[in-house]
Amino acid sequence: MADKKTIVIVGGVAGGASCAARARRLNEDAEIILIERGANISFANCGLPYYIGGVIEDREDLLVMTSEKMFGWFNIDIRTNTEVTKINRDKKEVIAKNLSTGKEKTVSYDALVLSPGAIPIKPPIPGIESDKIHTLRNMEDTDKIKSLVDGKNAKHVVVVGGGYIGLEMVEALRDKEIKVTLVELLPQVMAVADAEFAAPLHDELKNHGVDLKLETSAAGFKDNGDKLDVELSTGGSVTCDFCILAIGVRPEVNLAKDAGLEIGKRGGIKVDDHMQTSDPDIYAVGDAIEVTDFVSNVQTLIPLAGPANRQGRIAADNILGRDSVYKKTQGTAICKVFDLAIGMTGMSERALKANNMNYEKIYVHPFSHASYYPNACPTTLKLMFDPKDGKIFGAHCVGRKGIDKRIDVIAMAIRGGLTVYDLEDVELCYAPPFGSAKDPVNFLGFAASNILRDDMHSCQVEEILANPDKFCLVDVRNRDEVEETALIPGAHNIPLTEVRSKLSELPKDKEIITYCQVGLRGYIAYRILIQKGYKVRNLIGGYRTYRDITGTSLPLAPNKKVKDASMI
C-alpha cells in the first residue's frame, strides 16, 4: 500500500470525480479533497440538451453522483461552491474561496489534480454581455435555459454555432416546438466532420423547420425590450426571445498558467502520458489538457467525456504508485441530429491534409441491415487509409440506424492496429433485423482492398470536378434511376446489362470513368471494360457521393422495398 498522502482535486464531473473514486479504491487511508466551483460534483454534461428538450424528464437523473452519495461510498472530503483561486507550488498548497461566504482557506496537498474543464468561447462581439445570451456548461446554465423553454413565452431562439452542443440544442428546442434559427460561420455544420458528411445534416435540419444560415456569423446583439436582435454578418438581423451561444470551447487554463505550469501550443495544459504536468506533483486531466492524437501523434484538443474518465483513473493510479499510461486519443464521437446520426473516429480527411499525410479514401453506401427486412436505411461510410499498407487512419458514417455499431468496430480496428485487409475478414453479428451477411464494415474492407490489390483503379469525385472534359463518363444505372435523379454533367447512360453489347460505342483513346448509384455496378462495369482493353476507372461511391460532395445529399428515408439488390 502506498504511503498516506493528501490528494487535492480541483474540479469534478468526468475527470475529477473519476480520479477521486479511483484514488479511494486504491487507498483507503489517503486524504482526498474534491473542490468543485459549482453545486454538483458529477453530472451528465452530454445529457443537458436532452433534459432541456424533455427527453430526459427528471433532473435528478442527470446527477451521476451526488456529494452525499460520494461521501457515503468513498469517504471523500467534498467542497462544493468553492473555487480554487491560486496554487502555491513552492508550499504545495492551494487557496480555496467559498463562493457563498467569500472566505478563503489554505489547503495543503501532496498531489494536486487539475480538472477545470473547458469554458464556452465568448468573442468580443458588441452586446454579447446581454442577459438574453446563454451558454450551456453546467446545471446552473441548464436550469436557466430550461425555465425559459418551459415558461411558454419563448417562441423563437437563435443558436449560434453548429457543433455538438449547437445541434443538440437545436433539436431540443424544435422538440418543444420553438422556432430556431441556426447561425454558423462555416459553410457546414459539424466542423470536425468532412464537408460531404454535413450535407445530409443540412437537409435534416431544414426538413425539421430549422432556419439554417451557413457562412454567417453574429455581428452584434441588441436588447429590444423583452426581445433580442441578433445582427448578422450577411446583413439584416433576427429578432428572438433569447440566444444560445455554442461556438465552441477552450481549455480553462488560467489557474495552471498563473501557477507557471507549461501550456502547450494548442492552448491546453501540457501533460505527459502519466497525466503529469511540468510540476511532478501536479497532474491534469479532461478538457483542459492537450492530448496526443492516436493516428498522427500530434498534440491536439479533444474535449470528450470518455477520455476524461480514463485520464482521471490514470492520474490516480500514478499518484498512488501504479505505473499507468494514457494511450492517446482517437476522437471517437457521435451526434444525433433529429432522426440522423453522424459518427467518426480517427482522423478526418481535412486533418490528414492539414498534417500532410498521404492517404487514400473510399465511400460505400450499404443499408443498415438486410435490405429485404423492413425499414432498412441507407448509410454512408467513408474510410481513410494508408495506400502503402492499408493502415486505417479514420472513418465517418452518417445515417439513421447502426451508425454507432460501425464506428465502434472501426475504432477498435484502429486501436488494435488492424488494416483494411482485416476489415474484409472481420466477423460481425448477422440476422436480418440487425445487419447483413456482408456487413458495411466488410464492404469498406472489400472496396479498400480492391484498390490496394490493384483489382480496381479508382477515381474520386474531386478529379471529375477539376477537369470534367478529360474523361468519358459512363453512368451504368438503369434508365428509370437516371430519370429520378440526373446524370453527372457530360455523362452517357449505358445500363450495366447493356455494357457488353455496346463496347463499340466506347472510346479506347480516352479514359472512361464508370459509375452507378453507390459504386457496386460501376465496379462490375469497370471489371468488364478493363478486361476488354479499355483505359477505365470506377468512381468511388458513385452518384450518391457525387451528390454529397457537390452539396446536395440524397434522401436517407427508410427503404420500403428493394427491387434490385445490385442497387446497394
Residues noted as catalytic: 46
Is the Cβ–Cβ distance between 486 and 546 less than 8 Å?
A: no
Task: Compute the Cα dihedral for 431, 435, 441, 442 and give only its sign.
Answer: positive
- The amino acid sitting at 194 is D
Is the Cβ–Cβ distance between 325 and 314 less than 8 Å?
A: yes
Question: What's the distance, Cα to Cα, between the start and end of the chain in Å?
Answer: 59
Cα angle 340-345-347, degrees, rounded to a multiple of 5: 120
What is the per-residue DSSP string for 402-413? SHHHHHHHHHHH
Is the Cβ–Cβ distance between 454 and 448 less than 8 Å?
A: no
Question: Which residue in 89, 418, 150, 136 sits closest to 281, CA to CA?
Answer: 89
Task: Compute the Cα dihedral for 317, 320, 323, 325 and give only its sign.
Answer: positive
Residue 430 to residue 298: CA distance in whole angstroms: 38
Task: Return the H-helix or E-strand segment holding 1.
Answer: none
Q: Please report, for the chain, how many H helices and E strands are present, in that order.
A: 16, 30
Give 534's contacts (C-beta < 8 A, 6+ positions apart): 506, 508, 512
CA distances to 126, 371, 406, 435, 488 from 432, rounded to whole Å, are 56, 8, 16, 6, 34
3 state SS of 334: strand
Torsion of CA 527, 532, 535, 541, to 10 degrees: -20
Quick one: angle between helices 440-452 and 403-415, nearest 10? Answer: 50
- E strands, 27-136, where? 31-35, 77-79, 82-88, 93-98, 104-108, 111-114, 118-120, 133-134
Task: Return the H-helix or E-strand segment holding 232.
Answer: strand 227-232
3 state SS of 35: strand
Is the Cβ–Cβ distance between 62 and 51 less than 8 Å?
A: yes
Question: Which residue in 134, 132, 136, 163 sits closest to 49, CA to CA?
Answer: 136
Residue 567 to residue 521: CA distance in whole angstroms: 7
Instruction: Please provide residue 500's backbone torsions phi and psi, each rounded to the nearest 5 degrees.
Output: -60, -35
Instruction: Please provide residue 188's backbone torsions phi and psi, each rounded to the nearest 5 degrees.
Output: -150, 155
Residue 156 C-alpha cell reads as: 423563437
Residue 398 to residue 82: CA distance in whole angstroms: 42
